[in-house]
Structure 1
Amino acid sequence: MLHENITALSDSNPHEVGEATVRPTPVRSLLTDDVEEIFRFAIRELARGRVALATLVEIRGGAARALGSHVVIAADGRFCGYVSGGCIEAAIAFEALDALSEDKDREVKYGEGSSFFDIVLPCGGGITVSIHVLRDAQVLSQVLTELGHRRSAGLRYSRSLKQLEMVEPPERAGCVDGGFETIYRPRTRVVISGQSVEAERVAAISNSSGYEVVTHTKRERDLPDIDQYTAVVLLHHDLDAEQAVLHAALRSNAFYIGALGSTRTHRKRVDRLDSSGFSKAQIRRIKAPIGVFGPTRDANSLGLSVLADVAATRLSIYA
């Protein structure tokens, strides 16, 4: 039914029909749910014309996306981003085009509790989306700057003032004192220590997953930067070769530390770390044997196992 409604509207030309104006047909411009790409799209389009920012502000029951997810809609109908599994973004774009035409923010419900009886979400729940007509790109640029410096950023949308502003990053996205606050965290950095086919496979899968990849070999003296959004992956077949990066990781606030090797190898690793003065709590941070399934006998399987473990660990901490 939604497809039929959109198709019917798309058959019209963007010209005036009597006193009514037919809106442009929404067309997905970028296939991405990465907030940095979405905000860059918004900034580029603001330089050319008007733009609306749609934000998922309420979930009733199940939902395909997290609170704070975005869709950006340009005045010519092009859009990017997701607030669902892809089933209602075109409908949201139509609402955003109307908001741009009226120069007025609006809030729309879909699924459970919505007046759109012909739009049913596959998850069976319902969502509320706030649509904000962007006035300038300043706050979006500030978010990108913070993320570029590996710092979290926060935005607050005031429903009463129809205003978007920078705030201290909240612990999680949600409604606070009549407004909606969203947190944006730096992308996952994966530090890969090792010089092997396993290291190459993990690097390749990390890159394709949109992670920031930093490789390190035992010949390099400078240690990589490790912050709380960093996963450290040690893929050596020699405990001596991993020592420098492992020690640095244990002294850091990396959210994940994983090391290649059997259970027997890890016992030797633990003994060495204990004799070097590391505490039991520090040593327990190491995931060894590395990955979510194993043992693996090929580099591709190991890479998938490691990256699945990294993604699951980050999600459990920053959900």
Structure 2
Amino acid sequence: MNQIIAPIMAPIPVRASSSDDPAELLRFAIDAHGVGAAALATLVEIRGGAARALGAHVAVAADGRFCGYVSGGCVEAAVASEALLAMAEGHDRTVKFGEGSPFFDIVLPCGGGISVAIHVLREVGALQHVLDRLRRRRAAGLVYSPARQTIEPVGPPPRACWLGREFVGVYRPRTRVVLSGQTIEAQAVARLAEASSYDVIVREQGEKGRVAADTIDPFTAVVLLHHDLDAEAAILETALASPGFYIGALGSTRTHRRRIERLTAMAFAEDDIRRIKAPIGLFGPTRDATSLALSVLADIAAARLVAFA
């Protein structure tokens, strides 16, 4: 009697998380690799418009769970399906979606097209290297070779790009917000910054000394929400001597003129003083704490995009 063998059903892709934080995606891939198999899909080409930047990831576990985005959410399940096939075959693959793709039923709303490189993880040392550097608030890089089907640590490039036949991705620490000011506006900014998954450090009430200089790194925004120029003086001096990408201060245009006069008298250079965004925020004037907080956080996000474009 001939035995009928039932076909092995491939796992159904299921989103495990809505996060797009690169550190969380790499951690997911490491954990999945530890209990089975995993793949890391990377956005390596954009044709026309796209919802995500080059280097964006989708991490996929062998049981079908996935997280991350390489589009606005319209192709991620298909990417996960392709990653599951790659894991089953044990070979990397690159897949096109949207314009120029063989998948006619998958259309990107932007009308463009993307290419996604799917790497079947053989080891996770390179991913752990990135997490270790991010934990120390250092930028990191990974280079992916489609020919060798390898992923290795590399010095972080200015931006994700192809270098010859290899794709180099960059990873930067999440935004840190150093916040000074015991005002209702400061409380609102702190709440929204924490809700945005920023690393928030609040200068405590009554703290007279300067903020430690190494607290303000290149991925830090300094937000000064005082109604008294004397109260902001110490932390402002520290911020101006730091590599922070954003310094914003509360106050009217008249107040800022007084601030400039004080700093000029203290021999601060014009280029340093021009780093201060005052009045603070992307839009204004605002008349309530929540609107100001939204304006400040939007300004920080825009400044970070410019600083690390």
**Mapped contact 2:142–2:156 kept (Cα < 8 A):** yes
Q: State the Cα deviation string for residues 1-59 of structure 1 (Å, max 9, x = none).
A: xxxxxxxxxxxxxxxx9575321110000111100111111111111110010000000
Distance in 1, Cα, partners of 2:33 & 2:276: 46
1:199 matched to 2:186: yes
1:219 to partner: Cα distance: 2.5
Cα distance in 1, alignment partners of residues 8 and 154 from structure 2: 38
Give the conservation status (yes or no) of the 8 Å contact 1:218–1:241.
no
Q: Is the Cα contact below 8 Å between 2:210 and 2:235 reproduced in 1?
A: no
CA contact (8 A) 2:156 2:169 kept: yes
Whether the aligned pair in 2 keeps the contact of 1:139 and 1:166 (CA below 8 Å) is: yes
Provide the secondary structure at the position in 2 that maps to 1:21.
Answer: coil
TM-score, normalised with respect to structure 1: 0.93
Contact 1:218 1:242 in 2 (8 A): no
CA contact (8 A) 2:218 2:244 kept: yes
TM-score, length basis structure 2? 0.96
79, 101, 112: which one pairs with 1:114?
A: 101
Counterpart amino acid of residue 25 in structure 2: I
Alignment of 1:33-112 (within 5 A): 33-112=20-99
Equivalent residue letter for 2:114: I
What's the CA shift for 1:213?
A: 0.3
Equivalent of residue 234 in structure 2, options 232, 238, 244:
244
Letter paired with 1:138: G
State the Cα distance separating 1:217 from its structure 2 match. Answer: 3.8
Q: Percent identity?
A: 60
Q: Could you tell me how far apart the structure 1 residues matched to 2:8 and 2:82 are?
A: 14
Aligned length: 303
- Contact 1:71/1:81 (<8 A) preserved: yes
- 1:138 matched to 2:125: yes
Query: SS state of the match for residue 175, structure 1?
Result: strand
- Distance in 2 of aligned mates of 1:57 and 1:125: 14
Report deviation, 1:222: 4.8
2:219 and 2:67 map into 1 onto residues whose CA distance is 26
Q: Can you give the 5+ residue segments of structure 1 that lack an aligned partner in the other structure?
A: 1-16
Partner of 2:135: 148
Counterparts of 1:76 and 1:53, CA distance in 2: 14
Once residues 193 and 211 of structure 2 are traced to their aligned partners in structure 1, the CA distance between those partners, rounded to angstroms, is 20
CA-based RMSD: 1.2
Q: State which of 291, 294, 297 in structure 2 corresponds to 1:307.
A: 297
Query: What amino acid does structure 2 have at the position aligned with 1:141?
Result: Q
Task: Give yes or no for the alignment of 1:230 onto 2:220.
Answer: yes
Q: Distance in 2 between matches of 1:248 and 1:71?
A: 39
Comparing 218-227 with 257-266, greater Cα deviation is found at: 218-227
User: Are residues 18 and 61 of structure 1, via their aligned partners in 2, closer, same or farther at CA, if it must alter by over 3 Å?
Assistant: farther
